[in-house]
A = this chain, B = another copy of it.
């Protein structure tokens, strides 16, 4: 799985790395138990400082998404060990998304159809949950 970093945007690099690994885990591009590149390897691949990758990995570890280990590097956790379920942050972000759509005049049905489409795509990969 290849990560794409946008150095120009205003999303911090460590956040881009974290987000893309979460998406990889969701789509099945990274399987549970699979090895991730080491901090140094990924830093070299992306042309960023190891500390930046380290920060992304530390965040993923705190979220229960990956386990780190001096011998084997980083590894994607099983779903069971991850922080579970829909939380306030999910709701809050979903609400903002919906509000922006409505404020721009998008009909409810069009929005829900679009989200359903995106969800179908993501959930129909070689993914982890049915």
- Which chain A residues (45-104) contact chain B, with CB distance < 8 Å? 62, 65, 67-69, 72, 77, 79-86, 90-91, 93-104
Q: Which of A72, A83, A103, A129 has the most CB of B within 10 A?
A: A103
> Which DSSP category, helix, strand, loop or mixed, fits chain A's interface?
helix
Interface residues on A, range: 35 or more
The answer to whether A130 has its CB under 8 Å from any CB of chain B is yes
> Do B103 and A22 touch across chains, with their CB atoms under 8 A apart?
yes
Complex: A27 Cα to B128 Cα, angstroms: 36
> Do A103 and B7 touch across chains, with their CB atoms under 8 A apart?
no
Complex: A83 Cα to B104 Cα, angstroms: 6
Subset of 14 A-B contacts with CB under 8 Å = A7-B72, A22-B103, A23-B99, A26-B99, A62-B62, A79-B105, A82-B103, A82-B105, A86-B114, A95-B118, A103-B128, A105-B129, A108-B119, A108-B123
